[in-house]
């Protein structure tokens, strides 16, 4: 007991700082390391993404208990969620809200029978890049022509209540709702907002100098 009393007396400020930082990261904001390329070209492997954990819920620290609903996901936002189906934390783009009817036909998405707007920006024999407009959010998707087109068409399907349909921007190289199904509301951890920094795995983990504190929706 005396050991803990002495530890507290000698390190009081540091212990309080660690506790407050832990609460902050648990309930308010945190960062997420992106290990795969499923969100390319928007998010690259090695990006450290800042996540607003209060975007949708105020949760009791160190738990999944929601104390207050603070907002609802919007189409086009990038969300982080703990997927029970995938047994992993995932980051994907929000496409379908509860009640939406979603269809994909040869890479083109339809939301409630209306096709999204696309503009091809670059293509060659191996890949294609196009700007996709999801409500007010415009972003770039990638189509890897060397991979199977098995997931390039589906639906129409209706998103159930309290669930969401999410997709990766790297459309033929993403395990998302096409693989794991709809995302339950309670699995949402927060909204991705900013790239804090990024390291290049192919260049000795050196930082990418053009990705410091970059707005994820301005890419």
- DSSP annotation string for 39-78: TTTTS-TTEEEEEETTTTEEE-TTS--EEEE-----TT-E
Q: What are the beta bridge partners of residue 103? A: 110
Range of the domain at 100: 2-215
pLDDT digits (tens, 9 = 90+) for 99-155: 999 999 999 999 999 999 999 999 999 999 999 999 999 999 999 999 999 999 999
pTM above 0.95, yes or no: no
> What gap in Å lies between CA 144 and CA 159, rounded to an integer?
27
Catalytic status, residue 38: yes
Q: How many other C-beta atoms are found inside a 10 Å radius of the C-beta of residue 101?
A: 15
> What gap in Å lies between CA 58 and CA 204, rounded to an integer?
39
pLDDT digits (tens, 9 = 90+) for 61-102: 877 888 889 999 999 999 999 999 999 999 999 999 999 999
Contacts of 114 (CB under 8 A, 6+ apart): none
Domain holding 45: CATH number?
Answer: 2.10.109.10
Nearest to 64 by CA among 192, 191, 188, 163: 188
Contacts of 15 (CB under 8 A, 6+ apart): 8
Catalytic status, residue 103: no
- Which one from 44, 53, 83, 92 is the annotated catalytic residue? 92
Contact 93, 116 (CB under 8 A): no
Both tokens assigned to 101: 């009817």
Q: What percentage of the chain carries pLDDT values higher than 70? A: 87
Domain total for the chain? 1
């Amino acid at each position: 007991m005396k050991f803990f009393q002495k530890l507290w007396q000698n390190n009081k400020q540091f212990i309080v700082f660690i506790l407050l930082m832990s609460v902050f990261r648990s309930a308010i904001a945190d960062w997420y390391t992106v290990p795969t390329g499923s969100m390319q070209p928007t998010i690259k492997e090695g990006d450290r993404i800042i996540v607003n954990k209060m975007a949708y819920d105020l949760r009791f620290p160190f738990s999944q208990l929601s104390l207050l609903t603070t907002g609802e996901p919007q189409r086009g936002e990038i969300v982080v969620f703990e997927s029970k189906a995938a047994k992993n934390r995932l980051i994907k783009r929000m496409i379908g809200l509860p009640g939406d009817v979603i269809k994909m036909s040869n890479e083109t998405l339809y939301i409630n029978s209306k096709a999204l707007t696309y503009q091809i920006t670059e293509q060659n024999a191996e890949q294609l890049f196009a700007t996709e407009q999801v409500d007010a959010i415009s972003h770039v998707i990638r189509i890897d022509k060397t991979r199977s087109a098995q997931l390039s068409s589906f639906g129409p399907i209706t998103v159930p209540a309290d669930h969401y349909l999410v997709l990766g921007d790297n459309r033929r190289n993403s395990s998302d709702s096409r693989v794991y199904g709809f995302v339950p509301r309670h699995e949402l951890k927060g909204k991705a907002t900013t790239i804090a920094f990024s390291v290049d795995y192919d260049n000795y983990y050196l930082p990418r100098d053009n990705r410091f504190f970059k707005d994820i929706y301005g890419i």
